Structure 1
Amino acid sequence: MTKKTSAGLTRRGLMSAFAASAVAAAPTYSNAAGFLRGAGDVRRIAMRSGRTGEQLDTIYWIEGEYIAEAVREINVHMRDWRTGEAVQMDLRTIDIMAASLNLMETSEPYLLLSGYRSPQTNAMLSTRSSGVARNSLHMRGQAADLRLQSRTPTQMANAALACRAGGVGRYPGSNFVHMDCGPIRSWRG
């Protein structure tokens, strides 16, 4: 059901109107941690899946509240594309991704390489690569592997590290960055 405001706008339309202000209010590296603690009135995430071709550009937080419909869309978008299984993504990871994108001052959506991974998918990938952790945070919905054409893995990693909110892995050879909401740490793969 689509709810309308008194002015006749749908909630989705209202959220879209906030999108311009979200970009204009992008935090600087110096206040990245404040953004994650709730200093941002509007949070937006944009990404596309390299595997399914699906695109997502949504405002998922307004004035201290997550928007359930947008969070559901994020969960489906970040599903294990091999099995079709989706889980509740840890919103801390989404916040790190959104804050990092704002810090890089780009409107380019992330290319999502991997979000949630089922245990079966993770086990299969770990037999192919030594870089896949057996107890990966991807299996808990707490990690994402991302790429931007307009930014290097070093630039992406630096933005994520500025958030001081989780793990950041830089993979320059494969041109992607891993972001998660686990313990604060960094590595180069």
Structure 2
Amino acid sequence: MTSSGDLPAPDDRRARLRAADADRELVHEILSAAMAHGSLSPVEYEERAGKAMMAKTFGDLDELTDDLPIAQLGVAMPVPSMSPGPRVTGGSSDAAVRHRLAIMSGSELSGTAVVADALTATAIMGAVEIDLREVEFTAPVLTIQCIAIMGGVEIRAPEGVTVEIGGLGIMGGFGGKSQKSPRPGAPVVRVTGLALMGGVEVKVVPREDPDV
């Protein structure tokens, strides 16, 4: 749904992201306003509204509104809901990352990696760094089981997800910043586990900040 500079330009990744109920409802509002404005006939509205109800991705929804003058329809565009950000792709998890292990060494997960619904991060006298800002989530909830024994696990979560932290620190530290996402359909990152004479830290950071 791109028009008149109101929304970011579409890209391939955004087009295949899964849409939420709130996104489909917004499209219905746009289509209704377009019919009232005279941009759509009742027949066209009915056809597009039916497709919107069945739409699965942002690409499906964009096709229904790309030719409409959205800026003239007076529909409020909730940018946090519609802008590109962390979303559940619903893709296959067969090749998704499930483990990161560092024994007297280091291990890292970052970039556009595909992560499964559960990820184990084990650091024994080593360090594991997990950066979730650009990864593809394959499930609504990602559970990260952390084991840090005389080592450390650092997790960077993007601002657009819900973060839940619940772990145990014994002669070590287990904590960070929890948050509740306002974005419909945003993933949930659940961090749990044990830090024994080590540390687990969860940071919520902007997606575009390369220095964090």
- TM-score scaled by structure 2? 0.24
Structure (1 or 2) with the larger CA radius of gyration? 2
Task: Write 1 or 2 for the structure with the bigger share of helix.
Answer: 1
TM (norm. structure 1) is: 0.26
Instruction: Determine which structure has the larger strand proportion and give its number.
Output: 2
